[in-house]
Amino acid sequence: MQNPDVVVIGAGAAGCVLAYRLARQNLRVLVLEQGPRHDPTTFPHNEFDAVPRLYKHGSPQPTKDNRMSILQGQGVGGSTVINNAIWIRPDLDRVLPEWAERGAHVDRPALTRAYQELEAWLRVAPIPADMQTPGTTLFTQGCAQLGITCQILSHNRDTCTGCGWCNYGCKYNRKLSGLVTFVPWAETLGAQFLDHCEEISLRQQSRHITEVTFTRNGQQQSVTPGRVVVSCGAIGSLALLLRNDINPGGRVGKNFHLLGGVMVTALSPTQLDAYDKIGLVAFTQPHPQCVIETFFAPPGGFCLTVSGWGADLGIKMQHYASCAQAGVMVPTDPDGEITVSGNKEVIEVTLPETRLQLLKDGIKQLARIFLRGGATEVWPATFQHLSIRTEADLGLIDAAITGSDDLLFGSAHPQGGNAMSDDPALGVVNSRFLVHGFDNLFVADASVFPSNIVANCQATVMGMASLAAQSIASP
């Protein structure tokens, strides 16, 4: 496809939705993806094989100060291949006015329609009771004891087998990731996907991208696009722009933020077998800027989220089948920054004291929930071992956590860096997703979020990509 109407760079949650929606409008669409295209039937139930294969950089990506780590997918389908298939609409009553204050004007009825259409395509529904991990009961019973509102999450799976390996690719194709939905749907309409595309370069003349070049299988190729959409994720997109010396107003890489947090493990007096069925099931929101979600992982992932070292950690691992887990998440402020140094992205983001206090309050709330639900001991993922056996021990949390480096703090929800604003002094793209100073270059993914949505990102990334497709297809 030498002269596509649209070149989409990145085949993750945004890119695959864009490809499908644009192809539905009879546009010739070429998608370039740096990672591979996987055959889901070959996904291994082995964490040591799956992580290097399916995750960007083969591991979590650390921030410059090593205080936080960020998980991202790689390959066709992007993070939809390794996420928990959770579908959450954020609080638009808060998010959209906040964005509007920053100059990003999103059509709420159009976004709502996009959510609805996507939900129908992906068969979004509440997680059924017979697919909820037994460990969820420790959380839901605790919430009930404390009078805390707890909700069951919705997801995009179809007749899930409950194997518990969602974060390592679904070999049974029950998780309706982009790899098994929008990608083949777009291809049926004529879109073309190329994987293993390296060294992607955008050649520009004045306000126009005139050529896209890339290397694939050792061969350099080039295409002449009508329009170009960068959809490489909140970190990858701004890195691609910076490497191509595209930085309108010096704003690319600014206003980066993430929704991140820490795991908390609860020990039950009885065997739970929480590894069985779906782990991320229920949530509560004790504060508009704090979310608590249940979760459980296979042994390797579990081991990385439990405090302790050596023999102490080994003892905890012996109780794996009697444990339940949940995570406490808070957003960072939209004042982080990402720069590039050669092929490396340098990520600078901090957790301010106010958010750290929110995180500690959330950990305390979660510890209460687990204890009231019947747990005999609660272990926050602190650097040093911390055991909460009664509510009287909650004060230990303040003493043990004085900064984010006292915790295993991680994120799977990076956002911002190419902020949307109609004011070029505040953002990289306007409300039509068009990069300031260009007439055919767009960005559409979580990098355009001006502030944090405080929710799992899949639904809103896909919804915003749907709005972007409308702008891109317009004359």
Domain of residue 64, residue span: 6-473
> Six-digit token pair at 91?
């609080």
Whether 240 contacts 317, CB under 8 Å: no
Domain count, the chain: 1
pLDDT confidence of residue 308: 86
Nearest to 151 by CA among 294, 295, 364: 294
Is 122 within a domain? yes
- The token pair at 6 is 């649209």
Instruction: Please give the span between the terminal C-alpha atoms of the chain, in angstroms, as a whole number.
Output: 21
Establish if 1 belongs to a structural domain.
Answer: no
Looking at residue 317, what is its pLDDT? 95
Quick count: other Cβ atoms within 10 Å of Cβ 213?
13
Q: What pLDDT shows up at residue 407?
A: 93
352 inside domain:
yes
pLDDT in tens, the chain (475 residues): 779 999 999 999 999 999 999 999 999 999 999 999 999 999 999 999 999 999 999 999 999 999 999 999 999 999 999 999 999 999 999 999 999 999 999 999 999 999 999 999 999 999 999 999 999 999 999 999 999 999 999 999 999 999 999 999 999 999 999 999 999 999 999 999 999 999 999 999 999 999 999 999 999 999 999 999 999 999 999 999 999 999 999 999 999 999 999 999 999 999 999 999 999 999 999 999 999 999 999 999 999 899 888 888 999 999 999 999 999 999 999 999 999 998 899 999 999 999 999 999 999 999 999 999 999 999 999 988 899 999 999 999 999 999 888 999 999 999 999 999 999 999 999 999 999 999 999 999 999 999 999 999 999 999 999 999 999 998 6
Note the pTM of the prediction, 2 decimals: 0.97
| Residue 408 counted as domain residue | yes
pLDDT for 384 equals 86
Assign residue 461 the CATH number of its domain: 3.50.50.60
Asked if residue 331 lies in contact with residue 257, where contact means CB atoms within 8 angstroms, the answer is yes
pLDDT at 475: 64
Asked whether residue 127 is domain-assigned, the answer is yes
Residue type at 338 in one-letter notation: I
